[in-house]
Amino acid sequence: MKILFDEIDPRAEALGVENKLIFATGPLTGTGAPAGGRFIVVSKSPLTGAIANSCCGGYFGAQLKFAGYDLLIIEGKAPEPVYLSIRSDGVAIKPAGHLWGKWTTETETLLKAEIKQEFDIWEASDTSIVSIGPAGENRVRFACVMADGGRAVGRSGVGAVMGSKNLKAITASGRGEVAIADSEGFKKAVMDFLEEGRENKELEKRRMWGTWSLPGRANKTGTQAALNFQSGYFKPFEVFEDPAFIRDNIRVRDEACFGCPFACSKRSRIKDPDYPGTTKGPEHETMALVGSNCGVGDLDDICRVNYLCNELGMDTITTGATISCAMELFESGYLPEKDTGYPLNFGNTASMFQLVKETSRRQGFGDLLADGGYAVAEKYGHAELFMGVKKQGMPAWHPQGIEVIGLQYATSNVGACHTKATLPMYDGRRNPAHHVEWTKQDQDALAVVDSSILCW
C-alpha cells in the first residue's frame, strides 16, 4: 500500500498507463505458516477510484518467493498481449496473442502445456499461474485476477487493470526457499498453533464446510442479502441450514492453499453439459450475491453462474450486486425491457446467464453493467437502488441484521468488502453505543492481518 501511495498520483486514470499493479507477498508467504501462503494485489481501482487491495490463496505467492521475489510492480502497458514468466533463473515477457480471449482455465491449461514442452512435466506441475479472462481484457470494472484453477483476487477490478496493461497472465515457479532466522523457534510456534487448532471447534467447522455453513446461518438470523438487500431472508435458502445439503450435492474435493492444514476450499462440479468441468466455490459470498440477492435459490444455477464468473474472470460479488440492482430497477419499472432485450426479473436465471456473458464482452446491455451497479442505477435515475459503498457492491451480510457491519462497510478504505469487516453478531456485540469503538478495533486488527497477508 505504501508503494501505491508513494508511486501513483491519486488523480491517475485507473485504466491508464500511469496506474500500477502490485503483486505482493507477506513475511510468512512460503514459510509453511498455516494460512500464510497468500499474496495480495494492490492498485488504484477502476470501480471505486479508491485503493484496490485484494488478497488470494493458492500457490502463486509461495512460488513467487521461491523464485526470489517479494513483490512485483507492473508498470506501463505492453503494445501487444503478453504474459510474464517468472522463474528462479530469470524473468521473461512472452507473447500472449494466442491466449487473448481464452477463459481462465483454458489459459492455465495452454500455458502449462507450453511449459511442459519447453521444460518438463515437473516444471509445469510446480508452476502457479494467475490470469485474466475476457472480462479483464474488456476492462470490465469489476474483473478479477484468477489463480490456480478457480481462486480469485476478487474485488475492486484488479483484473481490469491487468487487462489495461495487455498482461494476460503471470507464471511463477521457483527452486529457492524462504530463509527463517530462527527456524527451530518458528517450527515450534507452528506446531503449538496446530496443537491448539486441534481443539478449536470453529477451525474444525471451517475445514469441514469451508464457508458452506454460513448461508443457512445467515438466513436463519435475517442477515442474508436477498433481493437486492430488500430482505435479510430468502425462503429457498432454508435447505442450506444443513450445510451437508451443499456438500453432498456439489463437492468434488477439498483443497488447501500452500502450507495450510485447514484445506477449507471446496471444489465443486457444474451440472451443465455446456460447461463440463469443476471450479472452486461457490463461497458464501457468491451464494448470497448471485443467489439469494438475485432471487436465485437453485444450487445448480448458483454453481453455473459461479463457474461462468470464474472462467470469464469477474468478481462474483460485484457481478451479483450489479445484476440484482438491475433486477430491482427492472421490477420497479425504471429499467425498460427494450434496453435489456429480455425480462430481468428476480430469479430469471436464463437472463442472468446471458447477461453475465454479455457483461464480460461489454455487449448489449452488458456494456453498461460492466461499469458496475452504481453506473446502472444512476443512469436510470435511481442511485438509491445501488446497495454499496464507494460504488462497490455490498457483500453477503445484510447490515439490517448486523448494524455494526454497515458502519464497517461505510468506513472501509476500499468500499464495501467482506474482507474488511468482521462478523460481530457471533460474539454478542450488538449494542449500538459501541459500534464506533468496535469498528475501529476491528479495522485496526484487519489492517494487521492484511499487512501480514494472512487468511482469516
Contacting residues toward ligand SF4, per CB under 6 A: 35, 37, 57, 256-257, 260, 262-265, 455
Minimum Å distance from CB 144 to ligand SF4? 16
In total, the chain counts a number of residues equal to: 456
Residue closer to ligand SF4 by CB (options 57, 372) is 57
Minimum Å distance from CB 433 to ligand SF4? 34
Residue closer to ligand SF4 by CB (options 161, 257) is 257
Residue closer to ligand SF4 by CB (options 152, 402) is 152
Minimum Å distance from CB 258 to ligand SF4? 8
Closest CA to 409 of 455, 443, 371, 450: 443
Q: Which DSSP string do the residues of 11-48 spell out, in sequence order? A: TS-TTSTT--EEEEE-TTTTTT-TT---EEEEEE-TTT
Phi-psi region of 89 (alpha: psi -120 to 50; beta: other; left: phi over 0): alpha
| CB distance 314 to 140 below 8 Å | yes
| CB distance 99 to 91 below 8 Å | no
Minimum Å distance from CB 201 to ligand SF4? 15
| CB distance 233 to 224 below 8 Å | yes
Residue closer to ligand SF4 by CB (options 136, 259) is 259
Minimum Å distance from CB 455 to ligand SF4? 3
Residue closer to ligand SF4 by CB (options 260, 370) is 260
Backbone angles phi and psi of 111, in degrees to 5? -65, -40
Residue closer to ligand SF4 by CB (options 96, 190) is 190
Grid cell at residue 283: 463461497
Distance CA 433, CA 256 (A): 40
Which neighbouring-strand residues pair with 24? 40, 71
Residue closer to ligand SF4 by CB (options 141, 266) is 266
Minimum Å distance from CB 32 to ligand SF4? 12
Residue found by looking up cell 448486523 in the block: 402
Distance CA 368, CA 40 (A): 28
Minimum Å distance from CB 210 to ligand SF4? 7
Distance CA 129, CA 99 (A): 13
DSSP class of 259: T
